[in-house]
Structure 1
Amino acid sequence: MNEPISTRNLDNYGSPELPWSRPREALATLTPTADLTFFVATVRPDGRPHSAGVGAVWVDDALYFKGGPNTRRSRNLAANPACSVSVRLTGIDLVLEGEAHRVTDTETLERVAAVYRSGGWPVSVDGDAFTAPFSAPSAGPPPWHLYRLTLRTAFGVASAEPHGATRWDFG
């Protein structure tokens, strides 16, 4: 289990720090069936930011997302894997920061594809990528690369009781 090595309370109103288990459990139970949009922010080669909505899933305590090889996010990640992923979960807004690297091993691709299928996307593994009859236009045409976020830091701001704001560092 990916546990933080340090936690810092960022709340200015006296609320205690939030446990990492709160967003982790929300990610595990809400993906892939809830109507969530994750936003992946990457950096272009000239330093300008880029952000795109993606379908993401939490599998085996890690966040995975996809993108066509010619999408701006995939090209950016190939040059610089640093990125952030933002999402509004039930009761907590979450920003995840780290590095995203392409996943090519068949075992992981099959495991993540099964989770996507459980949410209604009829994806299959084709070589070292995904294919399906459809995907979001922002993903580009198939095949789609799969990326795994190596989590470094996360920020959560609770929008429901118990309130609070917390930073979690993962190393």
Structure 2
Amino acid sequence: MTRQLDETVDLDIYGAGPLPWSRALDALRSGWPRMETACFLGTVRPDGRPHAAAVGAAEYDGDVYFTSGPGTRKSRNLAVNPACTLSLRLDGIDLVLEGEARRVTDTPTLDRVAALYRDSGWPAEVDGDALTAPYSAQSAGPPPWHLYRITFHTAFGVGLREPHGASRWSFSDA
């Protein structure tokens, strides 16, 4: 899905100026999937309480994907309310994506994202409309694992090295 950058807001209080979205996008594309990339999914429980869990994520064609077992708290939360955040530390930038996560079941996308995971060292394979592997993170639950795509409408970034800065980016579907 193509997203159009609608607005960049400078959040930096030290005068460094706004960060370009290209910096965050380059970090996303070069930083995933890697086992050492810290990535946390935030969801909302049906009673309104927050929930966070580490996930293994991947970037493909400008979209961000992650896996989760159907019985996990995060999957059950997303089934009721797809609103979520994805917080991650990438090379030179902390990034938070806000949007909605929806399950992906089309075979071409499953195949491509599974290949990305395999290239990173996780031996994921497509099994019907989900992914399987000999192992996964404890927080993923038992296989099969559903694949989710996050459609983000807002992102926040903080530069961790020169040039420093902080920005909020807003997007719409192109």
Give the TM-score taking structure 1 as reference length.
0.97
Which 5+ residue runs of structure 1 have no aligned equivalent?
A: none
Deviant stretches of 4+, over 2 Å: none
For 1:41, the equivalent position in structure 2 comes to 42
Aligned pair count reads 171
For 2:28, the equivalent position in structure 1 comes to 27
After superposition, what is the alpha-carbon deviation per residue over 1:21-52, rounded to whole angstroms, capped at 9, x for unaligned? 11111110110136102100000000000000
- Contact 1:33-1:118 at 8 Å conserved across structures: no
RMSD: 0.9
Write the distance in 2 (CA, Å) between the matches of 1:30 and 1:46: 34
- Contact 2:67-2:147 at 8 Å conserved across structures: yes
What does 1:105-116 align with in structure 2 at a 5 Å threshold? 105-116=106-117
Write the distance in 1 (CA, Å) between the matches of 2:140 and 2:38: 13
Other structure's SS at 2:94 match: strand
Write the distance in 2 (CA, Å) between the matches of 1:106 and 1:12: 46
- Contact 1:71-1:139 at 8 Å conserved across structures: yes
Write the distance in 1 (CA, Å) between the matches of 2:35 and 2:48: 33
- Contact 2:114-2:124 at 8 Å conserved across structures: yes
- Contact 2:87-2:97 at 8 Å conserved across structures: yes
Give the TM-score taking structure 2 as reference length.
0.96
After superposition, what is the alpha-carbon deviation per residue over 1:56-108, rounded to whole angstroms, capped at 9, x for unaligned? 00111010001000000000000000000000111111100000000000010
Write the distance in 1 (CA, Å) between the matches of 2:159 and 2:44: 27
Does residue 55 (structure 1) correspond to residue 53 (structure 2)? The answer is no
